[in-house]
Amino acid sequence: MERIVLNKLIEWKNSPRRKPLILNGARQVGKTWLLHELAHREYAKEAYIYCRKNEIARRIFTQDFDTERILISLRALTGVDITPGDTLIVLDEVQDIPEAIESLKYFYENAPQYHIAVAGSLLGISMHSGVSFPVGKVDEVNIHPMNFEEFLLAKGEEEMYKLLISKQFDIMTAMHEKYIGLLRQYLFVGGMPEAVKEYVETGGLNAVRQIQQSILSGYARDFSKHAPSDQVPRIERVWQSIPSQLFKENKKFIYGALRKGARASEYETSIGWLADAGLICKVPRCTKLASPLSIYEDLSAFKLYALDVGLLGAMANVEASQILLNDNALVEYKGGMTEQYVLQQMKSHETNPIYYHTTEDSRLEIDFVIQSDGKPLPIEVKAGGNVRANSLTHLLAQHPEQKALRYSLLPYKEQGQMTNIPLYAAG
């Protein structure tokens, strides 16, 4: 399957300012596959080292940071004649050997002619566990689940993909219903590569759901294996609450929904662990629509989203017919799945930072706010064809200079201050 993010990795390989590369991302989003594919397409050789429970690799990196000695040892370990420029050194599940992460600094300083890339499922957690991170000495690329554009490519819909990225909305409108049908498929399957591959090859909806449940079970095992034992029950409560928190009218995260009397101080560490593992995305509130948005961030109020819309549907046991045959899942769940999808699209395109906005009296709520050309850009997300947006309409009436976006199932249309963009073009 084609991954658009692979282009970033090729740019890294060809950059004259290249540094050792770290791939960040949750388990099962395709980091290892991407590095293998990069090596296959762009290098003559790949020296691959799997670090988990690899005592030989551990001894290589814990002895010292002599890069010449490390390279000789890696040649012996892999049987690959590692040479500058034509060999990609890959360290996988590198979080199991913290010294290997630290060694990247010395590769940058002492052996920049060698191409080395590392990945790990829990790297974000390792970075907060005493690992000496090589700040300024590495390049980083975030790997997300496959977005809708990559789903189109996986389905063989190359012309639909080309049309979508061309932003020729007048032509796209003629294909509107086909795009909506493909979007419904994506909302069920999501972007986890294994689930997408199964769906493309077999079309089996039950098989896709089994893969999603298997991935969720693997995440649950990670809680027990890698999280502090006193945090595991709290992590599980936060994780399991995400569908119910998103599928309500007010999507602000409520601690009381976890346990009666629950307080922020009890769960901050658990939420941080899930975020570091790449399993959730925290979208904080901004109190004012003014740049820079970070100045107006309210740390006490936020929304939590899952890693992937397909996994969110599996967590909530949403049936395939509710998504594929009509808009029930989009509308009945208070727009939670649609917001999840839009956020996922924005994250895949490295949109950052992302906030939501409410007034102090909570009468006005904007689903997302981003910065565009140095100005705040409100985004309203509508699950169906009913696009009455009282909050956004009220906001624009008060601020005639303000521009806004609305994502909905309707075709593209410019409406004065607001531009309606079809959901399939989100991001």
**Boundary (domain end) residue, out of 119, 142, 165:** 142
Provide DSSP, 119-161.
E-TTHHHHTTTT----TTS-EEEE--S--HHHHHHHTT-HHHH
Give the C-alpha separation, 52 to 300, whole Å.
37
pLDDT tens for the chain, 427 residues: list them: 889 999 999 999 999 999 999 999 999 999 999 999 999 999 999 999 999 999 999 999 999 999 999 999 999 999 999 999 999 999 999 988 999 999 999 999 999 999 999 998 877 666 555 567 788 899 999 999 999 999 999 999 999 999 999 999 999 999 999 999 999 999 999 999 999 999 999 999 999 999 999 999 999 999 998 899 999 999 999 999 999 999 988 899 999 999 888 999 999 999 999 999 999 999 999 999 999 999 999 989 999 999 999 999 999 998 888 888 766 656 666 689 999 999 999 999 999 999 999 877 667 889 999 999 889 999 999 876 666 657 788 888 888 899 999 999 999 999 889 999 999 999 7
DSSP per-residue codes, 247-278? SSSS-S--GGGTSTT--HHHHHHHHHHHHHTT
Residues 113 and 62 both lie in one domain: yes
Q: Is residue 180 assigned to a domain?
A: yes
Chosen domain end from 98, 116, 142: 142
The answer to whether position 1 is within a domain reads: no
Check whether residue 97 and residue 218 sit in a common domain. Answer: no
List, as one string, the DSSP characters of 5-50: THHHHHHHHH-TT---EEEE--TTSSHHHHHHHHHHHH-SEEEEEE
Longest dimension (CA), the chain: 69
Please report where in the chains the tokens 């907060």 appear, as a residue.
128
Q: What pLDDT score does 125 carry?
A: 61
111, 142, 173: which is the final residue of a domain? 142
Distances (CA, A) of 86 to 16, 91, 119: 15, 16, 20
Number of compact structural domains in the chain: 2
Which residues, including other chains, have CB under 8 Å from residue 62's CB and lie 6 or more apart? 97, 99
> Is the same domain home to 345 and 213?
yes
Looking at residue 285, what is its pLDDT? 95
For 116-132, how does the pLDDT look when each residue is reduced to its tens digit (9 = 90+)? Answer: 999 988 776 665 555 67
| CA–CA–CA angle 323, 326, 327 (5° rounding) | 75
Give the closest residue to 287 by CA, choosing from 376, 391, 359: 359
Tell me the C-alpha distance between 227 and 126, whole Å: 11
56 and 114 co-located in one domain:
yes
C-alpha radius of gyration, the chain, whole number: 23
Per-residue model confidence (pLDDT) at position 255: 93
Q: Which domain holds residue 119?
A: 6-142
Residues 158 and 206 in one domain: yes
Same domain, 264 and 367: yes
Residues 335 and 247 in one domain: yes
User: Are 191 and 324 part of one and the same domain?
Assistant: yes
Residue 25 covered by a domain: yes
Q: Round to whole Å and give the CA distance between 69 and 143.
A: 31
Residues 137 and 199 in one domain: no
Do 186 and 112 have their domain in common? no
CATH number for the domain including 39?
3.40.50.300
pLDDT the model gives residue 314: 96
Quote the pLDDT of residue 330. Answer: 62
Q: Compute the distance between CA of residue 144 and CA of residue 157 in angstroms, rounded to an integer.
A: 21
368 vs 390: CA distance, rounded Å: 15
What was the pLDDT predicted at 395?
85
Contact 288, 7 (CB under 8 A): no
Are residues 276 and 348 located together in one domain of the fold?
A: yes
Say if CB 93 and CB 66 are below 8 A apart: no
> What does the pLDDT read at residue 121?
80
Q: What was the pLDDT predicted at 386?
A: 64
